[in-house]
Amino acid sequence: QPDLVERLISVDVSPVSTAPVSEFSAYVSAMKSVKIPDGLSRSAARQLADDQLRPVVQLPQLRQFLLTNLVEMEGRYVWRVNLEAISNHLADIMNFPVFHKPYPGPALFLGGSNSPYISSKDYPEIQRLFPKADVQYIEGAGHIVHQDKFEEFIAAVLNFLPPP
């Protein structure tokens, strides 16, 4: 229902399958294997989880982002996200649904320059499905664009939105 959407912003995602470039399956497995004993302080629990994730999730900023999902519930530390559901449906998550009718409104594909998720090989499909799309990259940002370069991310979003 494109008439319900005034403008569209896609952050570091292309309308193609991202499974070939994703290490997400390994990240989910690493998160599922984290073991934290009961009774630890929040900072100690986060440090322990960080240490356990480090061999698989080598980028510190990505580990910190994943750790935002570690929460205390009834004295135990658990992941806020449903890792079982994510791992069982990862193929669906990493694939883009097939659409034949383009979205006619303004669209911004905003990627990180250090991320593989919006590639020049994706441009034809972006243009086919989003004919008014603009593709921009934030220099020095990875996949978690808003965390890596917050001010630049906000500036790009505000620049795309119409003035109030």
* Beta carbons of 149 and 140 less than 8 angstroms apart: yes
Cα–Cα distance between 8 and 26 in angstroms, integer? Answer: 30
Q: Name the residue among 23, 21, 82, 81 with its Cα closest to residue 56.
A: 23
- pTM for this predicted structure: 0.74
Taking the chain (164 residues) in consecutive chunks of 10 residues, what is each chunk's mean pLDDT?
Answer: 92 80 85 95 96 94 92 94 92 81 95 93 95 97 92 98 90
pLDDT at 18: 67
So what's the pLDDT on residue 21?
Answer: 54
Q: How far apart are CA 103 and CA 129, in angstroms?
A: 6
**What pLDDT, on a 0 to 100 scale, did the predictor assign at position 20?**
58
Which two tokens mark 7? 């403008």
